[in-house]
Structure 1
Amino acid sequence: MKRKLFLLTLLCFIFACYTAKAQGKLIFEKETHDFGTIAEGTQATYVFKVKNVGTEPVVIPSVEASCGCTTPTWTKEPILPGKIGSITAVYNSAGRPGPFHKSITLTSNNSESQRHVLYIKGMVEAKDAKTVVTPEQKALSPRLAVGTTSYHFGKLEKGQKSVAKFLIRNTGRNPLIIQGVKSACNCVTYRTSVAEIKAGEVATLELRYAPTVLKEQNEVVTVLSNDLIMPALRLTLKADVVEGKASKDMLREGEQPTPFR
């Protein structure tokens, strides 16, 4: 009897140890991002990367920003062990000159803490502000160079999200940082393959476009960087925007929606 009781206790202890270890655990690449100085009107975007170093999937059911000026999006599907998820923060600087420091709080089944706070900060330069750049600063400035300044998507459905990729090179002497993008439609966000592009190196700039207006579109996107000589680079996204075929088919009684071709 004592032997059976001992074995039962031992099995319970082993199971408890396994359960304690079999949990998801999130590790963030960084918890605070400083945009530096950005121009007023910029949609400043940063992608926080997070890795699950635990043994069970981690789910992030909600992410909340400290104010309406910051819009978060995040990985909705479970982050499996060893995989990487992301939390994207977009700060709308329009009409908000001056310093900013915002928080993004996420809730998850992370084993160590179910609530985690990320931060974005920076300085918004007013539209009428004038910056004097010395010759020495110009000589040391990073320089943004791009092979082509336009991208044609062809035919897109209204609201369909598509990505245009541009190769950009830093031909200057200091690290190049893309600080944000501006567009009249407010339907373009961005991400870069690296946070800082070192002198002489090449990176990929992705512009994510979701058109909201029908017919042929030529969206001018201003890319803002810490290039002191040309801080605003203009790129053009072209597309023939049409009504989604799936939505049309749903209006026809008795018919199932078909993919757009």
Structure 2
Amino acid sequence: MKYLFSLLLTALVTVAAQAQGVLTFEKELHDFGSVPEGTMATHEFRFKNTGNQPVIIANVQASCGCTTPDWTKTPVLPGKTGIVKAVYSSAGRPGIFNKTVTVTSNATTPSTVLTIKGNVLNKEQMKSSLTPAQLAQSPRLTLDRTVHNFGKMEAGQTASTKFTVKNTGKQDLVLGAITSQCYCVGYKNVPSPIKPGQSAVVELVYSQRKLGNQNEPVVITSNDITGDAKLTLKALIVQDLNANSMVKESGASVPFK
């Protein structure tokens, strides 16, 4: 009797051990090849649950702050698929990169390491490495205007403005990081890729604390190999917009008019 009980217990333990989800990735390494500087290099690692229990991804941890991960948050049932997305910000990071994201789940193998790699080239390097035919296939970024004047603003106030971006090229246009000397300009919402021949409205936010007339050069990076988009944001920054405030102009304090 004890022998039969032992056999039954062993069988139950074996079945329980076999009842588990299995994460099977299509591939665990992606090579972007040459990446134009400023591009948000994005790849989706696809996987399938080849086990017999649901799989829940608890966390995905990138090896550096330059890589932003995302993943399927809902339980993945047996036979179903999901994704782990890795986004590498190449702005200001020329050269070869090799980064990892570690996937933690309740699968049979609780930890899986995925790798992305590539070589970030500046626009001049990209242009010199491509044929005229390849250059002709590049996305093209055009702006409806290159200057916006906010007028009078209070120091520290946040204002926004919208630009229309059109892709006149032949591949999807992917906008990258925004750079400015004041570090006071950014996207209100991260823009989606723009299809060839289509336009999109991009909203920028601006917040400046330095007083006086401001002319802020801004660069919008993208995967347009021909160059980055340049624009200028202007504003008169005052300490206080109240009618009785004092504004420092030309080195002297005068009533704000």
Query: For this structure pair, what is the TM-score category when the shorter chain's length is used for normalisation?
Result: 0.5 to 0.7
Tell me which amino acid in the other structure corresponds to 2:107: N
> By how many angstroms is 1:103 displaced?
0.6
Distance 1:50 1:5, change over 3 A: same
- Specify the structure having the higher radius of gyration (Cα): 2
Aligned-residue Cα RMSD (Å) equals: 4.4
Is the alpha carbon distance of 1:133 and 1:26 closer, same or farther for their aligned partners in structure 2, counting shifts above 3 Å?
A: closer
Q: Which residue of 2 aligns with 1:258?
A: none
| 1:24 alignment partner, one of 16, 21, 28 | 21
Give the structure 1 partner of residue 34 of structure 2: 37
Q: How many Å apart are 1:57 and its aligned residue?
A: 0.9
Who is 1:97 aligned against? 94
* Change in 2 beyond 3 A, CA 1:95/1:101: same
Q: Distance in 2 between matches of 1:57 and 1:210?
A: 40
How do 1:77-116 and structure 2 match up within 5 A?
Answer: 77-111=74-108, 113-116=109-112
Aligned to 1:62: 59
Which of the residues 5, 10, 14 maps onto 1:13?
Answer: 10
- Determine the C-alpha separation between the residues in 1 that align with 2:46 and 2:35: 22
Structure 2 gap ranges (5+): 140-169, 179-185, 196-200, 206-219, 230-257
Q: The residue matched to 1:131 in structure 2 has which SS?
A: helix
Deviation at 1:69, TM superposition (A): 0.4
Give the structure 2 partner of residue 224 of structure 1.
223
Q: 1-side partners of 2:43 and 2:204: how far apart? A: 23
The alignment of Structure 1 onto Structure 2 pairs a total of residues equal to: 184
| Alpha-carbon offset, residue 181 of structure 1 | 4.1
Question: Which is richer in strand?
Answer: 2
**TM-score by structure 1 length?**
0.55
Distance 1:74 1:211, change over 3 A: farther
Distance 1:56 1:91 in 2: 32
How much has 1:132 moved relative to structure 2?
Answer: 2.8
How far 1:24 sits from its partner (Å)?
A: 0.6
Deviates more, 1:9-18 or 1:38-47: 9-18
1:177-222 deviation per Cα after TM superposition (whole angstroms, max 9, x unaligned): x79543655544668xxxxxxxxxxx9xxxxx99786xxxxxxx98
Structure 1 match to 2:114: 118
| Alignment TM-score, normalising by the size of structure 2 | 0.56
Check 1:179–1:105 CA distance in 2 against 1; reply closer, same or farther (3 A cut): farther
Structure 1 unpaired stretches of 5+: 146-169, 171-175, 192-202, 204-208, 214-220, 235-261
